[in-house]
Structure 1
Amino acid sequence: EQNFSAHINKLKSVLSKFVRPDFKTSDDTVLQKLFDQLCISTKGYFNQNHMMEILLPWLVYSINHWEEINDEIKAFALRIISKVVYEREGFSVLNEENILLTVHSNVKKNLETQKNCIILAYLDVIDNLLRHQQGTNWIIATEIWKEMTQFSLNNQSIYVRRRSQSIFSNFVIIMRDNTVLIHLVISELLDLNVDQFHIISVFDIQNPSVLKNKNKCTLSMQQREIKLNSYKVMGEILLTTLNSGVNFDLNKIFGKYQIQDLAWTEIHNDEDLNIILAASKFLCIWNISAMILPQNSIFKESDFSFLIMKHLNLLIIRHLFPKVILETCVEYSSLWHKFGMKFDRTENRGENFTKVENLIFVIQAMPMFMSIRLHYMDKNEITELFVDKLFKVACPSLIRLCYFYRDQCLVPHLSLEKFTCQVINSFIRVSSFCEKEQAVMIFQGFMHLLKDFVQRDTPTGTQNWRICPENLIRTYPELLAAILSGLSCYLTKFKFSWRDSLETVCMMSFIQSLITNPDVPFLVCAEALKLAKLVLLHFMPPNLALLVDTLQGSSMRDLGNQLFKTLGSVHWEVRDSSLEVLQVIGCLAIDKFPAFQSLLLEHNLPDIIVSIVESDGEPYVRATALSCLSELVKVQVIWDTYLQKEQVLITFLSLLYFETEGIVRDKAAIVIKDIYKHRNLPENNLEWVYDALYHVAQNDLHWEVKISALDFWDAIRDKSFLSVGMVDGKFPDVIFSKEKKKIVQITPTEMCLRVNSAIKQMSLNGCLHTLWETLNDDCDIQVQRKSALIIKKIVDVISTFNIFNDLEDTNSKLNEDIINRNSAQNLDEMDEIENKVSTEQNNKGQSHDDVIDEIVAENDLRLLSGLVRITEPVKSWPKIKRIIISPREFLIKVKTLNLNHYLKEPAESSSYAWEMESLLDDILLYSKGNTVEEMD
């Protein structure tokens, strides 16, 4: 109760400061945060009645002193009102206080000059009023819908227009049965268009005499903007109707306005590209609405195909604007996927019929088909099969339209390559809802375009309507980049195989031709390498391991040499993409495609990757190189040849200690974890690893690095239990005994001894203390959660075998014996190896006399410091002293805690209450003066 009163008093103080004329905030988000907290508080910590007792006087004061408060507070007050009027009771309270009428009057005074934040908050009020009948009646009575019309058509802010258009559409749908009001609203909306244009019927457009009679009218910029927005509003109304699923008679509401004919007229007459595009998009929505909304009619796909073809035919005849045609195709694709695919499509179609999705695809892809150099077709069976497939999915009417479209595209002023780039980008946009049949043809089209960029032998004497340049890559790099992006998009989405498309067979060889071509820009080369990674992932099935054990006879035999060159690129994007390809190759080389092991070995690629980790100047590249090594350590031959060297492990550990970039330290911790899981390290090397991960898990500044370090300790837990014969938390009935060298039956006593041995080992290497310390790390919730999860696994095993009484009980202390035995004897050796790494010497060790001689020599050199610049000495690893906690004491401490508390999400009420209090304190601290101004 005391905390509740404190919150109330702080909130009153903050609200009082808001209404001061001199109130300012440097943080634009503070009001939004406070509003969010108030919304949450009404459902949880604060009682809504208490909130109204505080907010209502403040709202009355704010509305009555509207001109005195700043615009941000006005918007905040309006948003509070919108929250209150969401419920009928809140609307009644504000209406009785005359707050809503006062707000309406205040906003309407300077409607054209109001700031966007105020208008958007005002629209929130209107939107919430439409949630119930009382609010809707109030909107009709005050004619606020006229203001919504002005916002939808005239406002300069796109955010205000979109928001108002959405609310206006909802209003029309709600009032659909009030015919008189709807006609009044539509008349207000279309007044400019209907009065100033002679409307041509869609059927008259086919008459050539009508095509010559254009009734043009000069409009101002503002009038054109109104016309453009009117189509957007009408389209939004239809879309809202389609989404709501209500019964809506288009002819009854819009029939007398001839809106569809008005849109056809705009496409026919207007020269403004934006207006043509808006009218065309509206026609897309109108056509599908006319087919779907009449509840008593039967949807016929053939009729809809006819409407689409007529629409596209007019666009091709009237204007050759690539943007309009492509946007129309994208709009039809989206609408058909969302609304048309759910209808029964078993009607009798006949030979003069094309599926809607195929019709849209063929028109949309036509410029791309024209870019394919068809003079190769007579020599390429795959291209011929592709063209045959296109003719099979198109009816004769569509084929005739395509030929006409082709002739229109051959005009001199149109750049077909730029047009093709737009086509590819439009296909990327529709990839999220594209059907598999069309996606395959799109993918094949991309592949045939790509073939032109890698074709080496250009036929001579070829008769073609356009002369291909000698080097397409230099001439059209944007087109090549678009093709690669399109291929990556569709390969990721649909995961094609050679069963879907024969073109996939040559995909890798095409990419290899690009990455070795010096004319390819470096960003395009990086994109090609990313595509190569996808190809390797999707086109390397597991059964290849049984069939292929060599790369001879394959284009990939050169891949190692090609990646060797790209790893030396001066551009970090290329190096990074090359490493990603090598990471996939390393993953496949483990068991799916062992032939890749020879590819990695022949070109010393693991050695190069390690050198990149040590010396590359870009942190992201070093991080990717470490991710690549995480896969390579799992390949036995690569581990034996390159990565088992002590120097490599020291490199990884040095990164944990001295690397400044958190992402690199994170990947280094992951590599070390993978080495521990899959390889056996010498005992002295393990002590270094324990020290480093013990230190990092508790002291690193990045919580992601701590999580990766805890993954290492989780691997230790798993391997410790596995080493004593436990599998998936339990022991098998029989087990192989190393001492007896035979399979024996394991007894419950033996099980307890083995579990006790595993937990004791975790205690000695510092695992238990690390978990306990990270569990109490209040700064990183994710670290606490990870630590609690690992501890719970250990506690579950102890509980399962009931070995608490058998756990060792020693005092928690600094285990100097272990430090002296394991770490101290290795410190000199560690420093020695560090210096060896820095000077790149290959000697295995040094005697004590050699060390003394080096120290003396170094002191002698310091005498010459004024003459010779001596390099900085190599940093030595810090001397880590691991604290050893006994298993019994660890369990006693853990039992005092509720681990489930760490594993679950924090309670909303306590979290939000804390955030509210913190936010109010920040606002009060920022504001000058602490006197509370009384509100009348």
Structure 2
Amino acid sequence: MSQRETMVNTKLQCVLHHLTSYEPQEDGTSDGTLAMVEDDTVLHKLHSHIDLMLDRGGGGGNSGYEWAQNVGLMNFVQTVLDPSIVSNPKNTGTVAFAIKILASVIKYGETIETFSEDKILVHFLVILPSIRNDPSLASASLTLVKALIKDKAGLHWIIKNGLWEKMLLPCLRSPSMFVQREGVDLITEVMLLQIDTPHFSAMVKDLLIISDKFCELRQHVNGVLSEEIRQSNICVLNIFKQIFLQTLGKAAVYSQLRNVGDISTRLLSIIKHKVPVTSVTRASDVLILNLLHRFQEKLMGYGIFEQFLLDSLCADILSLTKLLLENGYIESFLRSSVNAHKYWRILVNNLKESKNIDITSVESILIIITGFQLTPIVSLYRASLGPIFTACPEKEKVIAKWNEELHSRINIKEENKNETAKLEKQIQKILEKDPVEALRLTVLCISSIISAADHLHLTTAVTVFQGLSFILISHNYSTSPMSEHDGLQRAVIDGLRILVEKYNIDWRKSYVSVCLMGQLCELVKIPGISTQVKVAILKAMNSCINGFIPPVMSMLVNSERMEENSVELMGKILTIYLGDTEWEVRDSALELLLTSNIIEIDKVWNELEMENLPVRSLAAVLTEGEASVRRSAINLIQALFVAGKYEDMMVNTMVVPVIQHAAEDTDDEVRAASLDFIRVHIQGKLNKRGF
């Protein structure tokens, strides 16, 4: 062992000795309080250091456990976990620290038998009732359990000593949401490790009892107890959701769960009563996963895809949708059904990988769900633009054609198609009754779909893009909420931007994309739009330029014969937003200027040159109060310099002095941008001299 390692170990031993010394009272006696550590981050950093040393075996060639014994860590843990010390609430920080150390020692130990000689785990079992009610100690204990289940012996110890009942299940009733989340993750992990054993059924029964208690007591309690029971039930739903998700397309758990108890019946009983949206949404999530697992097991049984299996799945989804709508849970449906896109993709990918079953061409279930989710958009568009349809029937025909194309892709039996149409009309009637609620649900619908953008099928993404484009274009009409509703404006613009970024939607996928840039420019004319909407517009423009670069950039530029389809307006927009009163807008405008080769677009550049952009950019570096804007201005100056927009004399007399001044800025990123420009400037000079 090196001299440095010896010094570190000695210092650690001194710290441990200090932590186990008692805090004296004024009369010189002790009340059992250990030396106090005022700052919890000190113990956190110390634990991180110990964890690293255990991983390295202390640096002396020994195992982590041997090093822990040598420096006194095991004695420290055994001392601190004494019941008399644990019972003192003032010692919570040190006790939690000791439990985390024990978890780290076990994590880097060989087998659990190594720790039986120390009797520390027996000590832990004795104090378990005292620590599970304290959120800090419960969280540390969950870390210990997580370390224990890394091998079969540790998992067996947990089951044998009843930590499932004594530690894990009680976490679901913890007052700490953080402990509840940790408990859900750990319970899920333990159950998945026990999925092929009799213990799995017993664990499922315990969770179902908690869910049943929720159903039984919900009507008879209120206040804090009611919310506590509800949160426990949500935790149970989260556990089932995780079990379903992690086995989707891999393992058959539907039959195993069904043999223990009918989850569907319990969840449906929750939905049929008036409970908060969050509970119904989570229950609906689990029900959708349950249906997918039933479909999965039938599919595995046949080994190949059969149409009647899809018809059955679609019928189940339609039944669930109808139930949610009839009980007034349209919001829960919109929230949870979006997740079906994610679940379906996971199912398809895993089935192909693990079972060699390919159902990538089957889209009907997604088309049905997408149709329901787009109903609020269609309804809002129709309600706001009804008078316009009379004057301009062509617009109504476009919407009808889009809707018809969506439904033409549904490949299921006629009975399910008819039920789908009925439910869509039912959603429309609900929305027509309350325009304000319809607007709120439309924003919710758009936000939910976009949150699942990573999992959308390309056809679905294009369909949603078209729907959002129709809403965007409606801003021209005073009857449309798009002309005045801030939340709808942001949801639509951000939704279009994300879809363009993720799916590279150009005119070949959706022709309405060719007018997107023009419509974004037109939005600026809306009086009183918020700062957030301005920023959203600029970001969406940025994505359009990136997404529509050649071979289709010409469609955006040469638009003399195509109204509202060009970036020509960008010059005027940017000159307005570069002088906006809000720094976020100015910063976004500068970032847009830097995108791709924007300065080379003559019609945009001519507009900006008239506004003396080169000089304004230099002034921004000197006068802007926000560091991010100064940084963006320097990046723009560099782009202008590289594009040859500064004459040599201007570079020497204005540009270089301004950049040198910025190199002494108080902000790191501004200084970094300045140094990068200086590098480019020097490199340019060397190139001119032939170096």
TM-score under structure 2 length normalisation: 0.84
Matched with 1:393 is: 409
* Match in the other structure for 2:595: 584
Residue 635 of structure 2 is aligned with which of 598, 607, 627?
627
Preserved CA contact (<8 Å) 2:531 2:585: yes
- Whether the 8 Å contact between 1:59 and 1:77 is mirrored in structure 2 is yes
Q: Does 1:615 align with 2:623?
A: yes
Give the CA deviation at 1:547.
12
**8 Å CA contact retained: 1:623, 1:663:** yes
2:660 matched residue in structure 1: 653
1:112-191 pair list within 5 angstroms: 112=133, 114=134, 116-179=135-198, 181-191=199-209
The aligned counterpart of 2:334 is 326
Structure 1 pair 155–369 and aligned structure 2 pair: CA distance change class (3 A): same
Q: Which amino acid aligns with 1:33?
A: K
- The answer to whether the Cα contact below 8 Å between 1:151 and 1:161 also exists between their aligned partners in 2 is no
What is the alpha-carbon distance in structure 2 between the residues aligned to residue 137 and residue 570 of structure 1? 65
2:326 to 314, 317, 335: 317
Q: 1:511 to 1:174 in 2, by over 3 A?
A: closer
Structure 1 letter corresponding to 2:36? K
Q: Give the 5 Å matches for 1:481-496.
A: 481-496=490-505
| Residue-by-residue CA offset, 1:683-704 (whole Å, 9 max, x unaligned) | xxxxxxxxxxxxxxxxxxxxxx
Alignment pair present for 1:41 and 2:53: yes
Q: Which residue of 2 aligns with 1:415?
A: 437
Residues 182 and 604 (structure 1), Cα distance of their counterparts in 2 relative to 1, 3 Å cut: closer
Of 477, 483, 496, 1:473 maps to 483
CA displacement at 1:528 relative to structure 2: 1.0
Q: 1:252 to 1:72 in 2, by over 3 A?
A: same
Are 1:10 and 2:11 counterparts? yes
Distance 1:599 1:118, change over 3 A: same
User: How far does residue 548 in structure 1 lie from its aligned partner after superposition?
Assistant: 7.0
Instruction: Determine the structure 2 residue equivalent to 1:444.
Output: 466
Structure 1, unpaired ranges of 5+? 199-214, 459-467, 681-715, 725-936
**Cα distance in structure 1, aligned partners of 2:241 and 2:631:** 51
2:567/2:604 contact within 8 Å kept: no
Aligned twin of 1:222: 225
Deviation at 1:448, TM superposition (A): 0.9
Offset of residue 123 of structure 1? 1.4
* Structure 2 Cα separation of the partners of residues 283 and 121 of structure 1: 33
Map of 1:27 onto structure 2: 39
1 CA distance for matches of 2:137 and 2:218?
Answer: 39
Is the contact between residue 372 and residue 449 of structure 1 (CA under 8 Å) also seen in structure 2? yes
Aligned residues: 644
Distance change >3 Å, CA 3–CA 635, structure 1 → 2: closer
State the alpha-carbon separation in 2 of the partners of residues 408 and 623 from structure 1: 50
SS in 1 for 2:21: coil
8 Å contact 1:231–1:282 — kept in the other structure?
no
Bigger radius of gyration? 1
Task: State the AA in 2 paired with 1:266.
Answer: I
Match 2:78 to one of 51, 54, 60: 60
Please list the CA deviations of residues 828-872 of structure 1 after superposition, one character each: whole Å capped at 9, or x if unmatched: xxxxxxxxxxxxxxxxxxxxxxxxxxxxxxxxxxxxxxxxxxxxx
Equivalent positions of 1:374-773 (< 5 A) are 375=386, 376=388, 378-380=393-395, 382-394=398-410, 395-412=417-434, 415-453=437-475, 455=476, 468=479, 472-474=482-484, 476-541=485-550, 555-584=566-595, 587-590=597-600, 593-636=601-644, 638-640=645-647, 643-644=650-651, 646-657=653-664, 659-678=665-684, 719=687, 723=690
**1:61 shift after superposition:** 1.9
- Residue by residue, what CA displacement relative to the aligned partner does 1:73-130 show, whole Å, maximum 9, x if unpaired? 1111111222333467552233233221221211213643x2x121111112222222
TM-score (norm 1): 0.63
Aligned-partner Cα distance in 2 for 1:154–1:546: 60
8 Å CA contact 1:234–1:282 kept in 2: the answer is yes
Distance 1:72 1:90, change over 3 A: farther
Q: What's the CA shift for 1:501?
A: 1.1
Q: Give the whole-Å Cα distance in 1 for the aligned partners of 2:118 and 2:295.
A: 48
Q: Which runs of 5+ in 2 are unaligned?
A: 24-34, 411-416
Cα–Cα, structure 1 residues 341 and 370, in superposed 2: closer, same or farther, change >3 Å? Answer: farther
Structure 2 letter corresponding to 1:389: E
Does residue 240 of structure 1 match 2:247?
no
Q: How far apart are residue 145 of structure 1 and its match?
A: 0.9
Contact 2:128 2:167 in 1 (8 A): no
In structure 2, the residue corresponding to 1:70 is in which secondary structure?
Answer: helix
Task: Give the superposition deviation at 1:438.
Answer: 1.0
Identity %: 19
Find the counterpart in structure 1 of residue 31 from structure 2.
Answer: none
Q: Distance in 1 between matches of 2:491 and 2:367?
A: 22
Q: C-alpha displacement at 1:609, in angstroms?
A: 2.4
Q: Contact 1:610/1:648 (CA < 8 Å) preserved in 2? A: yes
Structure 2 CA distance, aligned partners of 1:438 and 1:403?
A: 21
What amino acid is aligned across from residue 379 of structure 1 in structure 2?
E
Q: CA deviation at 1:314?
A: 0.9
Amino acid at match of 1:531: A
- TM-fit CA distance, 1:544: 5.6
Alpha-carbon offset, residue 254 of structure 1: 4.0
Superposition CA RMSD, Å: 3.4
Match of 2:32 in 1: none
The partner residue of 1:50 within 27, 46, 67 is: 67
CA distance in 2, matches of 1:184, 1:553: 68
What SS does the aligned partner of 1:25 have?
A: coil
2:594–2:639 CA contact under 8 A, matched in 1? yes
Counterpart CA distance in 2 for 1:650 and 1:144 is 69
Residue 11 of structure 1: how far off its partner (Å)? 1.4
What do residues 292-337 of structure 1 show as CA deviations (whole Å, max 9, x unaligned)? Answer: 3575455633332222221111111111441x11221123222112
User: What's the CA shift for 1:449?
Assistant: 0.8
Q: What's the secondary structure of 1:271's corresponding residue?
A: coil
Contact kept, 8 Å, 1:228 with 1:274, in 2: the verdict is: no
| Shift, 1:242, TM fit | 5.0
Instruction: Measure how far apart 1:499 and its partner are.
Output: 0.9
Inter-partner Cα distance in structure 2 for 1:549 and 1:168? 61
Question: How far, CA to CA, are the matches of 2:218 and 2:14 in structure 1?
Answer: 62
Contact 1:78 1:125 in 2 (8 A): yes
1:834 alignment counterpart: none
Letter in 2 for 1:613: V
Contact 2:78/2:123, CA 8 A, preserved across alignment: no
Q: Is the 8 A contact 1:190 1:230 kept in 2?
A: no
- Give the structure 1 partner of residue 121 of structure 2: 100
Report the CA distance shift for 1:2/1:648 in structure 2 as closer, same or farther (over 3 A): closer
User: What is the CA–CA distance in structure 2 between the aligned matches of 1:673 and 1:5, rounded to whole Å?
Assistant: 47
Structure 2 match to 1:896:
none
**1:286, CA displacement in angstroms?**
1.8
Give me the whole-angstrom Cα distance separating, in 1, the residues matched to 2:553 and 2:155. Answer: 67
Measured in 2, the distance between the counterparts of 1:544 and 1:279 equals: 47
Query: Quick one: which amino acid aligns to residue 63 of structure 1?
Result: L
Name the residue aligned to 1:76. Answer: 97
Q: For residues 98 and 473 of structure 1, do their structure 2 counterparts lie closer, same or farther at Cα, with a shift above 3 Å needed?
A: same
**C-alpha distance 246-665 of structure 1, shift in aligned 2 (>3 A):** closer
Quick check: 1:255 aligned with 2:259? Answer: yes
The SS at the match of 1:4 is helix
- The separation in 2 between residues aligned to 1:442 and 1:600, in whole angstroms, is 35
User: Residue 668 and residue 11 in structure 1: after superposition, are their counterparts in 2 closer, same or farther (change >3 A)?
Assistant: closer
The 3 A distance-change label for structure 1 pair 621 and 91 is same
Q: CA deviation at 1:146?
A: 0.7
Q: Report what 2:29 is aligned to.
A: none
* Distance in 1 between residues matched to 2:425 and 2:55, nearest whole Å: 63
Report the alpha carbon displacement of residue 362 of structure 1 after superposing the two structures with TM: 1.6
